[in-house]
Amino acid sequence: MPTAKTVHRTDAELLLDLEEVVERELNRHLGAAKEWFPHEYVPFGLGRDFDGVLGGETWSEEQSQVTKVGQVALVVNLLTEDNLPSYHHEIATLFGRDGAWGTWVHRWTAEEGRHGAAIRDYLLTTRATDPIALERLRMEHMESGFRSDTDESVLHSIAYVAFQELATRESHRNTGKVAGEPVAEMLLTRIATDENLHMVFYRNLLGASIELTPDQTIEAVTEVVTGFRMPGHGMPGFERAAAQMAVGGVYNIRIHLDDVLMPVLRYLKVFDLSGLGPKGERAREELATHLEDLRVQATRFDERRAALAARQASRT
């Protein structure tokens, strides 16, 4: 006999059942989020006209004060933020624009809008990257739009964004660390604080979903974790940029496992849950096997990265 916890819920039922939690988490979020201003993080005093209609100075590589890997990562992070209209469309379609869900969707969109604006202002003012290449990449990336792998289910989407916001936090924070420029680090640390609060919102919502419908939620978590791709995966040149960011310590399989997947899974006590039905148990076993595979891959990656670093050190 299906019980309240094992009966399959439709998206419409889930949205209704979780509305109260969304309202509570929204209020917690609004209490915790501190207002901040992107213009304070941009050294406008360094700005000067570019060539083109204003006849200023052409951009060249040596003007950038940011490390090579920092440039690559800043561009990837900015292009990811740039696709906000697509992300907004996805969550507004799935979560709706009414009630607490709608208030969250709009608030989240407004906060995310700040990230792209701040990073672009910083990059252009400090001449940290080629402005023509950047604009061409933005056009190409936004023209292809973004469609998430999880846009057909509320639970899959909640699970995806819980991990994705944390992945984004790590990516911004680590970019700040490797950028080699203190203002960039300050700005990216500030943005990472926002991403952290977004993660907390979705993680808590995912926790409430586990309580409400444990089997269905664990199945969604497993599908999302086993098929996880970064939101920027479709951008031009992503594979090459991702490889540079991996070696550079911005985002790689070790960070993904230790700093993104495991903290959320531990917080939600996924492996301590009792009373799962057969479907939930099967999904959890699949998740455990996948994490074991990732551990092996992460160890191999660590070894390759260490060998690469040793080779580079001996060359210099």
Binding site for Fe ion (CB under 5 A): 112, 115, 165, 195, 198
Q: What is the distance between the alpha carbons of residues 232 and 245, in angstroms, rounded to a whole number?
A: 13
Closer residue to Fe ion in complex, CB, 112/215 = 112
Closer residue to Fe ion in complex, CB, 127/156 = 156
- Tell the smallest beta-carbon distance from residue 165 to Fe ion (Å): 5
DSSP bridge partners of 57: 50
- Tell the smallest beta-carbon distance from residue 262 to Fe ion (Å): 20
Q: What is the distance between the alpha carbons of residues 210 and 270, in angstroms, rounded to a whole number?
A: 9
Closer residue to Fe ion in complex, CB, 198/284 = 198
Sign, CA dihedral 277-159-174-197, equals: negative
- Tell the smallest beta-carbon distance from residue 276 to Fe ion (Å): 30
Q: What is the distance between the alpha carbons of residues 208 and 206, in angstroms, rounded to a whole number?
A: 5
- Tell the smallest beta-carbon distance from residue 127 to Fe ion (Å): 23
- Tell the smallest beta-carbon distance from residue 169 to Fe ion (Å): 8
Closer residue to Fe ion in complex, CB, 108/301 = 108
The 3-state DSSP class for residue 2 equals coil
CB under 8 Å to 286, separation ≥6 — which residues?
222, 226
DSSP-assigned letters across all residues of 159-201: HHHHHHHHHHHHHHHHHHHHS--HHHHHHHHHHHHHHHHHHHH
Closer residue to Fe ion in complex, CB, 129/164 = 164
How buried is residue 217: exposed, middle or buried, by Cβ count under 10 Å (0-12/13-18/19+)? buried
